Structure 1
């Protein structure tokens, strides 16, 4: 497996890095959409975070890497291992998966299909897991997500909503867990994302090519050093990566203890109402993202400061177009936040 560029060595792009971190702290936020120029570190950041995360424990021999500590999310085979008269299943540690979904992937490659080799050689109908199975409990990364074919978009919407992949074809009937952090990237100039899929992303961030000379030079310098001697470069940033890893693990542990008062919920609702967001998904995402931000910063309760940090990513892609307001979505969110919570 290729060595990932260290997360802590990524120059700038603070909003993107923060969004990916809080989505990893609380996967129920719903993933991250990264829009912007090519070559700005979008895929690098995703793979770097996955390498940063501590290894996860999975049931031995499970094709879906089921979590032994969460019986509700196990596949049928793993669920049967924990009968009343059986010992706990044997487990092992493995890296958090990062699975790429290519634009040209067939539906069978994504959801899984009949194992033709076993069918022809043994006459057995067996299921060959697809990319959704591989991504379970990890990250599913889609580059150029705005160019994804409609039938795959529909499929992803269903799986993202249920956390389960259902395959019924060629005499097979299979259900398996498919819970992952969905990360998509793309250039908005090349086409818009379907509204149904856009709404499924919890956070949306914008990235740009660095405009400061020193920042551009530093990006190139670090990338060149990484390519010249990967082991030495990774070793140089290992201490800082380890600091971020400890911070992330601690945030996951304290997440459930972060207090969200009724006053904080009212602030979130008031902000969403001021912006005219459709439905309540924006309210829920804003609350969850603010709670994850508080956990990351070691705070005990959600405050306006946390809402200010996450309001843009949580809400900018949920705004209706306003023909009487030429300001971009980011500016509209910033303005509403300033009016409600102060500059």
Structure 2
């Protein structure tokens, strides 16, 4: 029997402008697509970082992801997309409305918000509404990008080029799940829980370690080298650009199936069991690879549980741990400048050592 969330996702149709290219129509890049699906099923995984060559579908996949996200129930008129069921995390305005007689709610598409590289701090966190202050003499808060991204996805293209002060700001908000603004006599506090999605080209510089560690999963994407794959990529893109509506309709069944699977996976992910054997192997793998801290085990467990839920499996097993380990651990390994072996190869060897060939 389908859950209420799965039925809502089945009947909910986001605006066409949210997804210029169908997610399921993206050729190859299976690791990247799977990492996005895992993050959509369990946001607590901690977001996804995609590094790779230009023109490999990174931005296309992020924008297409919006159409697959189940609709969320939020408070009507709230600038922060407050969840009416999470009474403790409501903004001040919603708390007042709840005390005065209840909250009106509606279904909305989960937001996917772009954070431009040139964005100012005021644009990101919010600031004083100058127009209202000048015309009415009232101090009013104008929400920023963090407010719009609450309960959704915040996308940073070229994340490795983001200015340091914005990186520090994002780290603080990502850790607390709350945005606090105190300036020009204003003191505002509002929920800001979002899944961080980053992309970039490694040739243009590395990501700061503090921000890199905040991404739960990290995936490397490559330009396909085999001729049939390259031909199919060009064929689909050309068909889409010639007639977007017809192309979207041709992929609507596949999109519908994946959207329903994600919604169902979200509903049952909390019921997936993680036996002690799975926890032990996750810890053994992290120790064998020398992963820094304990965040690796937590991310590995959460990602494996989300994958199991997506696959309709009731318990986390070796298959799920093996599949998500490269995403969860590859960017957490200590670097040895004298060792030219990449992190992917090291993770593959560690998996073989712990789980067998």
Normalised by the shorter chain, which TM-score bucket? over 0.9
State the alpha-carbon separation in 2 of the partners of residues 159 and 24 from structure 1: 20
Name the counterpart of 1:116: 130
State the alpha-carbon separation in 1 of the partners of residues 298 and 23 from structure 2: 28
Task: Indicate if the aligned counterparts of 2:18 and 2:66 stay in contact, CA closer than 8 A.
Answer: no
Name the counterpart of 1:145: 159
Q: How many residues align?
A: 341
Task: Indicate if the aligned counterparts of 1:35 and 1:207 stay in contact, CA closer than 8 A.
Answer: yes
Structure 2, unaligned runs of 5 or more:
1-16
The Cα offsets for residues 140-189 of structure 1, whole Å up to 9 and x where unpaired, read as 10010000000000000001111111100110100111111100000111
State the Cα distance separating 1:79 from its structure 2 match: 2.1
Task: Indicate if the aligned counterparts of 1:3 and 1:230 stay in contact, CA closer than 8 A.
Answer: no
Structure 1, unaligned runs of 5 or more:
none
Please give the residue correspondences for 1:244-283 in structure 2 after superposition, counting only pairs within 5 Å.
244-283=258-297
State the alpha-carbon separation in 2 of the partners of residues 259 and 81 from structure 1: 39
State the alpha-carbon separation in 1 of the partners of residues 172 and 230 from structure 2: 40
Partner SS state of residue 299, structure 1: coil
Name the counterpart of 1:75: 91
State which of 50, 65, 68 in structure 1 corresponds to 2:66.
Answer: 50
Task: Indicate if the aligned counterparts of 2:218 and 2:330 stay in contact, CA closer than 8 A.
Answer: yes
Shifted more, 52-61 versus 156-165: the winner is 52-61
Name the counterpart of 1:158: 172
State the Cα distance separating 1:3 from its structure 2 match: 4.2
Please give the residue correspondences for 1:195-210 in structure 2 after superposition, counting only pairs within 5 Å.
195-210=209-224
Name the counterpart of 2:198: 184
Name the counterpart of 1:167: 181
Task: Indicate if the aligned counterparts of 2:70 and 2:262 stay in contact, CA closer than 8 A.
Answer: no
Name the counterpart of 1:92: 106
Partner SS state of residue 260, structure 1: coil
State the Cα distance separating 1:48 from its structure 2 match: 0.9
The TM-score with structure 2 as length reference comes to 0.94
**Is 1:6 matched with 2:22?**
yes
Partner SS state of residue 103, structure 1: coil
**Is 1:21 matched with 2:37?**
yes
**Is 1:40 matched with 2:87?**
no
State the Cα distance separating 1:313 from its structure 2 match: 0.5
Root-mean-square deviation (CA, aligned residues, Å) is 1.1
The Cα offsets for residues 116-138 of structure 1, whole Å up to 9 and x where unpaired, read as 00000000000000111111111
State the alpha-carbon separation in 1 of the partners of residues 53 and 234 from structure 2: 16
Task: Indicate if the aligned counterparts of 2:155 and 2:198 stay in contact, CA closer than 8 A.
Answer: yes
State which of 288, 300, 323 in structure 2 corresponds to 1:286.
Answer: 300
State the Cα distance separating 1:72 from its structure 2 match: 2.6
State the alpha-carbon separation in 1 of the partners of residues 355 and 170 from structure 2: 36
Name the counterpart of 1:125: 139
State the alpha-carbon separation in 2 of the partners of residues 34 and 87 from structure 1: 45
Partner SS state of residue 80, structure 1: helix
The TM-score with structure 1 as length reference comes to 0.97
Partner SS state of residue 199, structure 1: helix
**Is 1:65 matched with 2:78?**
no
